[in-house]
Structure 1
Amino acid sequence: MAGCRGRVSSTFVCGGADLMRILDRKPTDWTVNWRRTLPQHERMRRRSFLMGGLALAASSTLLPELQTAAHASPAAGPPAAPSQVLSDMQDPRAWTLSSRDGSIRPDTSTHSHGNQSLEITTTGDSGRPTSADLSLPGIDMTDCQWDLWLRAEDYQQIESIQLELGGEGEDCLRLDVAPDMRTLRTGTWCRVTVNRAAERSVVGHPRLDRVMRVRLKVVPASDSAPSRLWLGYLATLPSAASGIVSISFDDGYDSDYKTARAILQDCGIGAATSYVIADKVGLPGRMSTAQLAEMRERHGWDIAAHASTDLTTLDEAGVRRELETIRSFLLEHGYPEGAAHFALPMGRYNDLVLRTSQDYFTSMRTIENAPETLAPGDPFRLRVFYCGSYTTESQVEKALARCREHRCWTHMVFHRIDEQTDGAPESIRADSFERFMRRVADSGLPVKTVPEVMRSQSPALA
């Protein structure tokens, strides 16, 4: 064992191969620290292995697929072995253009798996989408999730990305692959997992027990320019056993302590997660250190990491200072579990933020509105049900129904819970919040804090 910056590290050599795994012990769990010793595509390949294992039984071509491309989140490894690899993009004849407009072609200049991807070029006209079809022998998809690797040249040029599952005719189930297109904002490879909670529409009576055609349809945004989207990988994943709800609060407002806590207790909901900003703790309108301690020790809340500075405006040194500040604050005050989880300020991130955050945390939460899968495909781009003064009880009811039926993670994010709101979009009236929480309690769904969910969904390292 050798120390590194006050942490305990250990080195393993596996199978006589030239594989060096440096395990860096954080206060909460073991995480992999290859960032300074290996190129990024190799870091990602090994993290993918540890996050879910090799799916060797699914396809004889899977070993080349593990050679993943640079800039994708190294933590975006499979949560479980794929049920079936549908396409690794290595056969240039597998996909065919099924739309009148746009174009597709194999592209060896960028790839998430193997040595090529499928490039899809849009028309720039929202009325003329580009569609690519993959023929299948008839696969049972009645109880699965879908795993896609995507890269967008410019996400703002795309209105929607739809995955259609059908047979020989036009009957199909249509899913929104990226309900919030900001998921593809970095322009780098992004792992996106979806399930039927992202259902957009159903045409006719599709037989999901015998899917013979998969179609990826890319719809351009209005008044957009032609742009490119790359598909690097498509597979199915097992569905979760149950949906999960999480209740989280940003910014550390004292309404977490004074109002939200009591409402949750009255509704029989055990605990929530409060993402706090280190330099705001103790200020007027924010929780004090004593209140944070009571929330954790007496009421079971998790206290997690947040910040107020737009990290996308900083260089790497500035990003690291911000992340080190909040992580150190939480560790010094006795919140090691929450210190592993970070909520992005204003939900903003770029490739630098995405990469750097993984030196400090095991999950990163966005404000991108979409049902999250269990397990999350990428723990550093967690998607949420973002709630504000505009949120209705009907929307909450529908989200919970989807969570129960399709077994996803409904992560409800709030800010201030006020007796009387000041009109700010992040302020929610206490009586509205109570109705929302009654709906959660009545749903029968398990309610867990973010650290609890991530512990249950991330396989332990051997």
Structure 2
Amino acid sequence: MTAHARLLAAAALALATVGVAAAARAEQRWLVAVATSERLAKVWREGNVEDGREAGRSFVAITTDGRGSPSLVAAQGLAADARGRFVKVALRVHGMAHLANLQVRAGGADFERSWFSLPVPIYADLEYNFLQDGEWAAVTLPFGSADVAGTPDRARLDTLGIMATDDGRAPVRIDVAGIALVDAPREGVVSITFDDGYKEHLAAARAMAARGWRGTAYVIPQVLGTRPAYLTLDDVREIGRLGFDVAAHDDPPFTQIPADALEPRVRGIQRFLAEHGFAEGARHLAYPLGKQEPKRVRPTVARLFATARIAGGGPETLPPADPHLLRAVNVVAGTKPEQVGVWARRAKEQGEWLILMLHWLPETTAQHTDYAMADYLAMLGEIAKSGARVAPVTEVWKEAAPLVAAHPAFAPSAAAPAKAASR
């Protein structure tokens, strides 16, 4: 048997033995189902807290002081067990450009001295953020990536709150409509994804296939075969035969494409993929440069794709809060293979979905988004040592989709429109 045939056989075995991930329990327990200033009360004197109501939804509005002082509100007396669970918060930000820090704080009876801090990633490029100004969002945060002070106990959470800090130039308002704990799967999973369609991705796919693993290649159709640096269509077909997803990507950010041109362009990418045998991958997207916005880009993407991955944000939860804002960890020139192994082990143990994002894989790195091929191969070894399951995005999504449908972004009592209350 030739080396190429052995790779294809390994890929076929992986496809034949795909198992459903350790079943996630579907329970979503709302600790704060109806948010009021009595339930989510001020802990520190800085900032202001008011009650709000909109479209039948109650929320607490936290306004920072505009001087860079942190504001904290919290629900107490919870007696919650967060083991095997992650936090979900329904919130909205007004003044995203001035938000310096946003985090969930969780702890026990000694909350002031001992706590978990679960940060919400915030980027200076606002189109890079999964939180967008003035838009309600469900945010899920795993405990595996929390900062820890003292010795808090996940089994005995008494207090859980939201802390917000502005940049000292203007106040920021955070609306909070609910806080929940969601069951995570018994074990997490790693998805290794490749952006743009560079030539080295074929060797990278072969290295994964030799381990019986499959990944996801987000390709830009119009660049295939145009320069030696890019995959050819035959290369992409071989990646597909190795069991990889071949999914949708593009060059210009969707935020820069005129509204009337976006959907035709996206459908053209999907049509290309489907015509060349990648119909399943055609329903999955990586946002170009990770940029998106909620008024026209995300609605179009949500209508045409099952999932869409951004370009940062850290490990994703299972199930994800929003399949069209899948978070990722960017593997770049300074990333140590051993560190990726630590992330993979944590994902396995904490029930996270670690989506790794890679670009160029040259012999020697020359820019930030490069990752040396030798380091990549070492990274695969570290992931193998972690014992984490490795699966492509499409496979993980098939398992997660029913749970996403079962987990509404808002508590039912808080989400019902006002006119439905009398039914």
Q: Distance in 2 between matches of 1:294 and 1:207?
A: 49
Tell me the secondary structure at the aligned position of residue 72 of structure 2: strand
2:142 aligned residue (190, 195, 198)? 195
Q: Does 1:400 align with 2:344?
A: yes
1:104 matched residue in structure 2: 49
Query: How far 1:81 sits from its partner (Å)?
Result: 4.6
Q: Which amino acid in the other structure matches residue 413 of structure 1? A: M
Query: How far 1:210 sits from its partner (Å)?
Result: 2.7
Show CA shifts across 1:185-209 (max 9, x none).
34311111112122112x3332332
Could you state the TM-score of these two structures normalised by the residue count of structure 1? Answer: 0.77
Q: Does 1:220 align with 2:166?
A: yes
1:344 matched residue in structure 2: 287
Q: Which amino acid in the other structure matches residue 349 of structure 2? A: E
Q: Is the 8 A contact 2:84 2:186 kept in 1?
A: no
Tell me the secondary structure at the aligned position of residue 428 of structure 1: coil
Q: Which amino acid in the other structure matches residue 211 of structure 1? A: L
Q: Does 1:367 align with 2:314?
A: no
Tell me the secondary structure at the aligned position of residue 329 of structure 2: strand
1:334 matched residue in structure 2: 277
Show CA shifts across 1:293-349 (max 9, x none).
12112x111100001112112332221122111111111111111011000000000
1:251 matched residue in structure 2: 196
Q: Is the 8 A contact 1:124 1:227 kept in 2?
A: yes
2:370 matched residue in structure 1: 427
Percent of paired sites with the same residue: 26
Q: Which amino acid in the other structure matches residue 155 of structure 2? A: D
Q: Which amino acid in the other structure matches residue 253 of structure 1? A: Y
2:71 matched residue in structure 1: 130
Q: Is the 8 A contact 2:196 2:219 kept in 1?
A: yes
Which structure 2 residues correspond to residues 203-352 of structure 1 after superposition, within 5 A? 203-221=149-167, 223-257=168-202, 259-266=203-210, 268-284=211-227, 285-297=229-241, 299-351=242-294, 352=296
Tell me the secondary structure at the aligned position of residue 197 of structure 2: coil
Show CA shifts across 1:25-84 (max 9, x none).
xxxxxxxxxxxxxxxxxxxxxxxxxxxxxxxxxxxxxxxxxxxxxxxxxxxxxx975442
Q: Which amino acid in the other structure matches residue 354 of structure 1? A: R
Q: Distance in 1 between matches of 2:216 and 2:196?
A: 11
- Gapped runs of 5+ residues in structure 1? 1-78
Query: How far 1:405 sits from its partner (Å)?
Result: 2.5
1:148 aligned residue (72, 89, 109)? 89
Q: CA-atom RMSD, angstroms?
A: 2.1
Q: Distance in 1 between matches of 2:27 and 2:213?
A: 34
- Gapped runs of 5+ residues in structure 2? 1-23, 124-128, 407-423
Q: Which amino acid in the other structure matches residue 117 of structure 1? A: F
Q: Is the 8 A contact 2:216 2:393 kept in 1?
A: yes
2:116 aligned residue (174, 189, 198)? 174
Q: Does 1:117 align with 2:55?
A: no
Q: Does 1:139 align with 2:80?
A: yes
Query: How far 1:363 sits from its partner (Å)?
Result: 0.3
Show CA shifts across 1:384-431 (max 9, x none).
01111122234313312321221201111101111233x122222111
2:327 matched residue in structure 1: 383
Which structure 2 residues correspond to residues 60-71 of structure 1 after superposition, within 5 A? none
Q: Is the 8 A contact 2:363 2:372 kept in 1?
A: yes
1:57 matched residue in structure 2: none
Query: How far 1:160 sits from its partner (Å)?
Result: 2.1
Q: Which has the higher helix share?
A: 2
Structure 1 runs (4+) greater than 6 angstroms displaced:
none
Could you state the TM-score of these two structures normalised by the residue count of structure 2? Answer: 0.83
Change (3 A) 1:291 1:224: same
Query: How far 1:292 sits from its partner (Å)?
Result: 1.2
Q: Which amino acid in the other structure matches residue 194 of structure 2? A: F
Aligned length in residues: 374
Greater mean alpha carbon deviation, residues 153-162 or residues 279-288 = 153-162
1:164 matched residue in structure 2: 105
Query: How far 1:141 sits from its partner (Å)?
Result: 1.9
Change (3 A) 1:248 1:173: same
Q: Which amino acid in the other structure matches residue 347 of structure 1? A: G
Tell me the secondary structure at the aligned position of residue 349 of structure 1: coil
